[in-house]
Each structure stands twice: as structure tokens, then as C-alpha cells.
Amino acid sequence: MSVEIKGAVDSLVPAPEFDDKNEAAVLILSKDALSLVEMNARAVSMLGYTKQELQTLAPSDLLFDRSLNRSPEMSFIRGDSLILRHANGQKIFCKSSSGAIVIAGKSRLVVTLSPETKKERNARIDALLHLAVEQMPDAMIVYDMDDRLLYFNQAYRQIFPYMPPLEELVGKHFFDIIRITMKAPGVVMDPLCYSDPEAYLAKRLERLHHPSTGMFEQPSAGGWHLIHEQRIPGVGFVSLRRDITRDKQLHDEMTAANHRLEEAAGAMEKAHAEAVSARISAEQANRAKSEFLAMMSHELRTPLNAIIGFSSVMQQEIFGPVGNTRYQEYPAMINDSGSHLLAIINDILDLAKIEAGKMELDRQWMDGNGLIIECARLMSGLALSREVTIELYSVGPEGTVMLDIDKDIPVSGQISSGDQVSGKLFYADARMSKQMVVNLLSNACKFTPASGTIRLSYDWSDARSREIRVEDTGIGMSPADIALALQPFRQVADVSVTTESGTGLGLPLVKSFVEMHGGQLEIDSKLGEGTTARLQFPFVAGSDARKTLPEGRSAGTE
């Protein structure tokens, strides 16, 4: 029998051949195995060196791989397989045995070397591979080209303990192995296994012949497996499987923990944002309070000073007895100042009632044209002092008609059945409606320069709603100014420099009043061009209108 000696991959030197019947190669080493003392002819022939060359070499120089984590002495003393280096650089696989001997009074180490046959070497490699596969943590199962079981390792039996021993299953067809799995309770998760077993077998056979590329996760009874399947030409089918249940649990726990952290972080961010918002709101409220107090100190002090001053002059008769003609204008001034002070207090009380939900509506049917005429007359004095013109319009289904503030008579009080204004009616609280229009007209007069025009109109052309518009050619507002003006106690103009009086409650009250009616306040404005304010009221029609109209009157159509 010849022995194959393998060398480096790139070596083309033929390996020497040895006759198994020849004597064993013998090396005599020093006791410490650090030097070669003697060798027989067989050793010289097997190693490919001359005797003189060998005597110049250390025993470690004969080892093919000197990087192994053991001393050269142990390599020769262990008495197991060795890989030596031939003179031409190729590997020599051999078995070794060693023993101590005394030669000429000196202790020597005798090592005998027997070349390993190809069959012995293959058997040793097979044993090593089998040991490695048996000890690997991944479950392995192998089928041959005819779909018959070749092998599975211990890890496979640990994952599938219901499987009989390998010795009983070797050579069994793939279907026989799968049927064992199908009978095991709770193992197969695929519903097809129970609804159509033959279809499930066909599905598994298709997977055996055409496995998926790469690794994939698969649920199992009580856990998860990571699977890698491969079809090897000339060998068959190989499957590696690892139990990743604990890894999945850790991943899920980590994911859940991260989710909880994200929720906690989100909650903290939200709480922080709410705290910042509350702080800003508190600062704004404090600033609004300060501005309100500054404004109210001016608004209340002015009429009170007038009341106290004029009444003091009259009381002390500074200009003589009270019958003096100069005192005749003072009661009117005192009355005006008192009325102004009362109006301020009423506005504050109305806003407080609205915020407390205590304000109630006293609705009645009113003529919109009459309402705007009456409000225009109330504000005519202010308009005259500001040198602005108020124009009145009625917008109906047939077009727009200009109203005359002096000739047209406003409709007020109870609407009788004889009036022919049913199309112009709208259903609202009379006091609030008048206050809303007066507030809007007052603002328009205050902030419209001399020679400007204010257009006040009542639009009843839409059967679904009623609209009162106040359009002016005043100084206008920016969007930020509009938002500010709609806040209670806030004014667009700085109270320290403006010449116009006010509490900053006019527009907030108008907005609250119209919303109590189910309507809305819309404001369009541009700086330097003017402002348009719209009061939109929903129109009560049908049965609701008939219920609320005075007796003998119908809602009518446009």
C-alpha cells in the first residue's frame, strides 16, 4: 500500500511513496527533545533529508506547524498523530510513539514514526468531523439525492426529542420523517398539515427540492427557529436550525422597553410643552392684567374726575348760586360721564357672565333694516365729530337698496301682522344685536380718518342666513392685530399713546354674542386700506320660524 504525502497547495513536487512493510522510522532525541542524536535509514528516507542534514536540524524543525500551542517535546512524546515537513515542503501524516532509553549512560528519547495510510487518515478525519458536528450547537439534518435520511446530530434530537434514534431512521424516506413530525402534538404550526395532510407533504417536498435562499425565521411549538436550508449537488439536502426563542424574547423585551422609553420621553416632552405653554399663558395673563389695569385706570378715572369735578363746582357754587346759567351744561356732562362709566362696567359684567355660562338670550323677531338705521342714528354724533360718513344699504334677493338714515323709519318693538317685512326678519336678542352693531360702528368711526366712509349693510338675500356688514376705509389691521383685538382687555394700539378710549372688550363681546346665536364674526382687514366686519346669523326657517313668530305672522320667503 502506498502512502500519500500532501504538501502546500502551490507545490508541484510529487510526494514520496513508502512501503507499509518497511521497518518503522526511528528518531533518537535528547532527553529534552531539543536535538536529534541519531536516526535510522528509514527515517532518512521518509523525511527526504540526508543524515548530515537531519543532524543539523532541531526536532521542532521537522514539525509542519510549529505554531501549535505545545512544546516540540510534547508533540513527540504524546504518541498520537503528527504532521511532519518533508524536505520538499510537503506534509507527511504519520503516527508516533515514544519511550525512554539509556544509551552509553545517557537518557535518550526514542520516537518511532509510522506513515499514516490514506484509509487511516480519512477515518481519523471522519471521526473528527463527526465529533465536531455532534458538538455543534445548531441542529443539522441531511438527506441524500433520493430524499432519504443520512444523518442528524444531537442538537437536532434536543430540538425534536420525539424523534427515534438515528440508527432506526437512517435510510428512511423524507415523507416518513415528516409524518413523525406531523403526529407529534403541537409541533407543526401550518394549518394545511391538519386540513390537507397530502397537500402539506407536497409543500414540504417542494421546499426540500427548492429551498429558499438565505436564512429565515419560523415559529415552532413554544418558540422560534432560525433556519438555513441548502440543496448541494451530488450530496442532497442540508438543513441547519437554531433555537432563537430566547433571542426573540430578549428582542421583544428590548423593543417593548424602547417603546416604553419613547412613550415616557414623549410624555415628558408633552409635559414640558404643557408647562412652557402654561408659563407663557400665565405670563400673557399677567401682562394682560397689567395692561387692563393701566387701561382701566385711565377709562374709569376720566369719567369719575368729570363727575367729581363738575359736581364739586356746583356744590361749592364757584361761579355763584346754582341758578347761574353756566351750571346748566354740567348735569349733561355728569350724565355722559356716568353713562360712559356704566357702559364700561356693563361690558365687564357681560364678559364675566359669558365666561361663567350665565348669559341668557332673549330672542325676538326683528327687522334688520330697522336695526341698522337705529344703530346708525345712535352713532351719528360720533361720526359727525370724527368727520366720517355712514352709508346704509339693504341687500335683498332683488338687489341692493340704499337706505336714508333720516327718512327710513326703523322697525322696533313687536312686529304686527300687517307689516310687509317678513323677508327682512331675523331672530335674535335685540339688546345684544344692537350692542354688536354699535360696537362695530364705534370702532369704525374711531379708526377711520376724517372724510372716510363707513358702509353699514343688512344682507337678507340668502334664505339660509342673515348678515350685517360694517365696512370702513380706516387704518386697517394685520392678521396679528386681528388676533390680538379679539382677546379680552387687549387693544391693537398702545394705551399709553393712543388718543382713543376703550377697554379692549368691544370685539371680544361681539364675537361672544354672535357665537351665542350660533353665528360667527368674520374680520377681513388690510393695513392702510380698511376693515370689513361680518356678523353672520343662521336664519330660523320652517316649523322653528312659525313657532317663534308672533301670532298671525309667517316666516315668508324671500
Q: Quick check: 509 pLDDT over 80?
A: yes
CA angle 125, 127, 133 (to 5 degrees): 100
Residues whose CB is less than 8 angstroms from the CB of residue 423 and which lie 6 or more positions away in sequence, other chains included? 396, 397, 460, 556, 557, 558
What's the pLDDT score for residue 55?
Answer: 86
What's the pLDDT score for residue 318?
Answer: 74
192 CA to centre of own chain: 39
Q: Quick check: 277 pLDDT over 80?
A: yes
Percent of the chain scoring above 90 in pLDDT: 29
What's the pLDDT score for residue 137?
Answer: 87
Residue located via cell numbers 438543513: 239
> If you average pLDDT over residues 266-287, what whole number do you get?
87
What's the pLDDT score for residue 4?
Answer: 35
Residue located via cell numbers 441524500: 144
| Among 360, 497, 525, 498, residue whose Cα is nearest residue 440 | 525
75 versus 79: which is more confidently predicted? 75
Q: In terms of C-beta distances under 8 Å and separation of at least 24 residues, what long-range contacts does 514-522 make, across chains too? A: 514/436, 516/354, 516/359, 516/361, 516/429, 516/432, 517/361, 517/363, 517/428, 517/429, 517/432, 519/465
Split at pLDDT 50, 70, 90, the class of 471 is very high
Beta strands in 404-539 (DSSP E): 425-429, 453-459, 465-472, 520-526, 530-538
Q: Quick check: 498 pLDDT over 50?
A: no
Helix 174-183 and helix 197-209: axis angle, to 10°?
Answer: 130
> If you average pLDDT over residues 128-150, what whole number do you get?
88
What's the pLDDT score for residue 259?
Answer: 92
Query: What span, in angstroms and rounded, lies between the C-alpha atoms of 509 and 490?
Result: 12
Phi first, then psi: give them for residue 46, nearest 5 degrees.
-70, -40
Split at pLDDT 50, 70, 90, the class of 218 is confident
Q: Quick check: 107 pLDDT over 80?
A: yes
What's the pLDDT score for residue 79?
Answer: 60
Sign of dihedral through CA atoms 140, 145, 149, 150? Answer: negative
Among 288-292, 483-487, 530-534, which stretch is predicted with the lowest mean pLDDT?
A: 288-292
Q: Quick check: 14 pLDDT over 60?
A: no
| Among 430, 425, 452, residue whose Cα is nearest residue 441 | 452
- Write out the three cell numbers for 479: 392678521
Residue type at 74 in one-letter notation: M
| Among 284, 282, 345, 278, residue whose Cα is nearest residue 484 | 284
What's the pLDDT score for residue 192?
Answer: 92
Q: Quick check: 547 pLDDT over 70?
A: no
Split at pLDDT 50, 70, 90, the class of 417 is very low
Q: Quick check: 258 pLDDT over 80?
A: yes
